[in-house]
């Protein structure tokens, strides 16, 4: 398995570039349309497309900066309200996914916030037809407990991501698609905790992690 720090950084960069390709491509398309458009109504539509694509790009960059990067350093605490705002921006305003929020405490260690954001991203992407995403975190007897639950009419979790989360991924199978899940598990294990995933289901996905305070 290509699990060195350099390999992991490379795979995460590939994932970020892949996820940003769509909104950045839409920006480029909007600029091309605007350049040759003279109709005022169509120009307004192009401007709306540009504004929406710029917002989506910025929201994703902010999310990835905290979920994968070292925003503010590694040892700082993070206000859970910031994580909630990032998740809400990721869900958008389409109404397809409803967010339930149950995070206790005024601040959480950044390692716990990173795990929360990564698991929330995985759960959100599994809700291919929309549904409900519940996010919870609290201080327990063993450390900080993070629980993410996705419920919908169709749960579609990539098998590679599942094996990366449960630690059974085969040697050589780590890729840009599975790197975030593998990193999340390693982050939990290296901080004295664990990561668990519920059995495969078509309507519900439950992810849980524990990290030391």
How confident is the model at residue 93, as a pLDDT? 83
Q: pLDDT tens-digit profile of 134-149?
A: 999 998 888 999 999 9
Q: What is the CATH number of the domain that holds 43?
A: 3.30.565.10
Bridge partners (DSSP) of residue 146 are 137, 209
How confident is the model at residue 28, as a pLDDT? 86
Q: How confident is the model at residue 72 (pLDDT cuts 50, 70, 90)?
A: low
Average pLDDT, stretch 53-64?
A: 91
Average pLDDT, stretch 173-194?
A: 93
How confident is the model at residue 71, as a pLDDT? 61
pLDDT at 122 over 50: yes
Average pLDDT, stretch 87-116?
A: 92
pLDDT at 106 over 60: yes
How confident is the model at residue 202, as a pLDDT? 94
Number of structural domains found in the chain: 1
Ramachandran class of 168: left when φ > 0, alpha when ψ lies in -120 to 50, beta otherwise: alpha
Answering whether pTM is above 0.95, one says no
Tokens standing for 100?
């339930």
- Residue 118: give the domain boundaries: 5-211
How confident is the model at residue 1, as a pLDDT? 43
H or E stretch including 175? Answer: none
- The alpha carbon dihedral of 50, 51, 52, 55 has a sign of positive
Q: How confident is the model at residue 2 (pLDDT cuts 50, 70, 90)?
A: very low
Return the SS3 of 113: helix
Q: pLDDT tens-digit profile of 11-58?
A: 999 999 988 888 888 888 888 888 888 888 888 888 888 898 899 899
pLDDT at 125 over 80: yes
Ramachandran class of 79: left when φ > 0, alpha when ψ lies in -120 to 50, beta otherwise: beta
């Amino acid at each position: 398995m290509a699990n060195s720090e350099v390999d992991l950084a490379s795979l995460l960069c590939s994932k970020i570039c892949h996820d940003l390709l769509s909104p950045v491509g839409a920006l480029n398309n909007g600029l091309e349309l605007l350049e040759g458009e003279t109709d005022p109504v169509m120009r307004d539509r192009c401007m709306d497309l540009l504004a929406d694509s710029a917002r989506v790009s910025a929201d994703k960059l902010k999310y990835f900066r905290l979920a994968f990067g070292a925003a503010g350093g590694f040892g700082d605490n993070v206000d859970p309200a910031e994580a909630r705002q990032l998740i809400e921006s990721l869900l958008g305003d389409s109404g397809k996914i409803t967010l339930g929020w149950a995070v206790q405490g005024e601040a959480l260690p950044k390692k716990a916030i990173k795990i929360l954001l990564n698991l929330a991203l995985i759960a959100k992407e599994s809700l291919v037809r929309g549904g409900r995403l519940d996010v919870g975190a609290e201080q327990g007897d063993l450390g900080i407990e993070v629980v993410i639950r996705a419920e919908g009419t169709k749960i579609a979790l990539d098998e590679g991501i599942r094996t990366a989360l449960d630690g059974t991924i085969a040697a050589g199978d780590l890729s840009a698609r599975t790197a975030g899940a593998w990193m999340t598990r390693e982050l939990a294990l290296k901080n004295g905790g664990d990561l668990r995933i519920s059995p495969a289901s078509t309507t519900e996905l439950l992810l849980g992690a524990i990290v030391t305070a």
